[in-house]
Structure 1
Amino acid sequence: MLSPCDVSADELGAQYMVLQHKCSSLETTLNDASARIAILEGDTKTKSERISALEATIAANSTKIDALESQCKEHLAMTRALENKIALLTASNPQSRLFLLSRLMRAAHTNSTETVRVLVEGGDGIGKRDEQGRTALMHAARQGHVEPVRLLVEKEKGLQDRDGWTALMHAVHGNHPGVVEVLAAHECGKRDSNGRTTLMIAAEKGYTEIVAALAPHEKGLTDSSGRTALMLAANNAHTEAVRVLVEYEKGARDTRNRTALMTAAQRGDLEMVKVLAEHEKGITDEDGRNALVHAARAGHREAAELLMEHEKDVTD
């Protein structure tokens, strides 16, 4: 091992210089690291301040959102209250419903023909519907206003409301023959949500004039039970409607092979039997029974005696 005395002054000086250089390098590295740390601390502080600002903004926006939600709930409650008031008002006074309709609907509903003409020519409100899905044409037809119907039919024909009713169906339900004559050529053949045609509706209600207008257009059509308009009229004792329909639908059978005459006989409707007997005599149902048998089995003596003249050769 060398003693300090064995190392020359030059060697010691050289080692000192090396150590001094290393220390200087370490100081530089340390200073760089300190500078970087200071920069990172500054960035961290800046980002922390930004995060705090964002948190404050979020908190403020959350407060605003809560306030908006509260306002929306208040407005919704007010809207529902207003809707309830309108519903009560319209229920107690149907005329007030007119204020909820479009200009064209109001004009059609109230038979304001010139207003309808102007609005139709300008294309104002054509095809619009109310809360029940009804158009201006339907409103006019429902009220029996012929001239507004003439003005609107080419623009709104064939449309159906939420119940599946066309303007023609509204006219039939309201028993408006004049409107039916205008609409028949445009909307015949359609069915409501129950599968009934306008002729069936008119027959069931006994609207003879309308039945006569619709029979040429919808004769022979049947409902889900296979019943024709003639059968529906007979079932509801509408003798005059039956007189019209028997010329178009005599001999038709339902899903049980029964005719209108059989139903009338079973009900004991003597007047109806008189009208139908000559047209549907001799026909039997799926069980081989004719109208005479149906009348006899139901205990309708007069109807049975009348039918004896037509069906005495057919037995149960």
Structure 2
Amino acid sequence: MKRYYKIITLLLIGFLSMQSCNSSNRNNKMANQPQSKLLKAVSEKDVQLVRAILNSKPDLEIQDKNGRTALMIAAYNHYNKIAALLIAAGADVNAQDTMQNSPFLYAGAEGNVELLKMGLENGANFNLYNRYGGTALIPAAEKGHLEVVKILTKIPDYPIDHINKLGWTALLEAVILSVKNETQTAIVKTLIDAGADVNIADNDGVTSLQHAKDKGLDDIVYILLKSGAK
């Protein structure tokens, strides 16, 4: 009986070892695939290697453990030269990772004008939103990225008055969260000139005008009143 159990134990050990080897082989195989090499090459900012890998026509939408494509990795690191290569090869500017960022959304939020323009030229989807339910315009308005705001508000069908999960439009967020300076005033004026609704209130029923008054933003109060804010 002891001999029988010993044989069974040895067989199980052998089976598990084979499974481990097979798993290791699969992992090694994945590591050697062009797709995995592409993610690594982008992370290491190896432009020449990225070019070489792209010649093999890899799957550009393969994701890492955080759901990031090669283009998303380039976007996070502001590797615009690599981003341009990937987009030219067909990478999706709208692919979202586990944080719900996409290259286009992140470009707007970070004020990366070059990548933003590449996104607009390659099928940027205005109906995709970040984890706060916002567009590329809303965080741009908050963070003082005036050039991004100017670009997006000139697009005829861009959702300027989109309301995010916090109950804020780009205008509300520009008033509530932006740093008080000339750029903030310029962003508010740009949004209003582009047709932003000055009377949309937040979830508490407070309008941009009331927020501006509460924060002592006299220049913005003047602009809002002149634009029909109540």
TM-score over 0.5 for the alignment?
A: yes
The one-letter code sitting in structure 1 at the alignment partner of 2:49 is T
Matches within 5 A, 1:96-111: 102-111=36-45
Q: Which residue in the other structure is 1:175 paired with?
A: 111
Residue 192 of structure 2 aligns to a residue in which SS? Answer: helix
Matches within 5 A, 1:19-98: 55=1, 58-64=4-10
Matches within 5 A, 1:202-281: 202-215=140-153, 216=155, 217-237=158-178, 238-248=184-194, 249-254=196-201, 255-281=203-229
Q: Give yes or no for contact 2:134–2:162 (8 Å, CA) kept in 1.
A: no
Q: Give yes or no for contact 2:109–2:137 (8 Å, CA) kept in 1.
A: no
Does 2:66 correspond to 1:120?
no
Give me the whole-angstrom Cα distance separating, in 1, the residues matched to 2:159 and 2:46.
Answer: 32
RMSD: 3.1
The one-letter code sitting in structure 2 at the alignment partner of 1:250 is D
Q: Give yes or no for contact 1:259–1:280 (8 Å, CA) kept in 2.
A: no
Q: 1:122 to 1:221 in 2, by over 3 A?
A: same
Give me the whole-angstrom Cα distance separating, in 1, the residues matched to 2:13 and 2:40.
Answer: 41
Q: Which residue in the other structure is 1:195 paired with?
A: 133
Give me the whole-angstrom Cα distance separating, in 1, the residues matched to 2:206 and 2:100.
Answer: 29
Q: Give yes or no for contact 1:172–1:198 (8 Å, CA) kept in 2.
A: yes
Over alpha carbons, which structure has the higher Rg?
A: 1
Q: Give yes or no for contact 1:180–1:213 (8 Å, CA) kept in 2.
A: no
Residue 227 of structure 2 aligns to a residue in which SS? Answer: helix
The count of aligned residue pairs is: 202
Give me the whole-angstrom Cα distance separating, in 1, the residues matched to 2:124 and 2:67.
Answer: 17
Give me the whole-angstrom Cα distance separating, in 2, the residues matched to 1:66 and 1:113.
Answer: 47
Q: 1:103 to 1:173 in 2, by over 3 A?
A: farther
Q: Give yes or no for contact 1:261–1:273 (8 Å, CA) kept in 2.
A: yes
The one-letter code sitting in structure 2 at the alignment partner of 1:158 is N
CA-to-aligned-CA distance 1:116-161 (integer Å, 9 cap, x gap): 3332232224212122111111111222233322232332332110
The one-letter code sitting in structure 1 at the alignment partner of 2:102 is T
Q: Which residue in the other structure is 2:181 paired with?
A: none
Matched-pair identity in %: 22
Name stretches of at least 5 consecutive residues in structure 1 with no aligned partner: 1-54, 76-100, 284-316
Q: 1:104 to 1:144 in 2, by over 3 A?
A: same
Give me the whole-angstrom Cα distance separating, in 2, the residues matched to 1:59 and 1:272.
Answer: 83
Offset of 1:227 from its aligned partner?
A: 1.8
The one-letter code sitting in structure 2 at the alignment partner of 1:196 is G
Q: Which residue in the other structure is 1:50 paired with?
A: none
Name stretches of at least 5 consecutive residues in structure 2 with no aligned partner: 21-34, 179-183
Q: Give yes or no for contact 2:161–2:197 (8 Å, CA) kept in 1.
A: no
CA-to-aligned-CA distance 1:192-227 (integer Å, 9 cap, x gap): 222121111111212111222223333121113442
Q: Give yes or no for contact 1:102–1:125 (8 Å, CA) kept in 2.
A: no
Give me the whole-angstrom Cα distance separating, in 2, the residues matched to 1:160 and 1:241.
Answer: 27
Q: Give yes or no for contact 2:198–2:224 (8 Å, CA) kept in 1.
A: no
Which structure has greater helix proportion? 1
Q: Which has the higher contact order (CA 8 A, sep 6+)?
A: 2
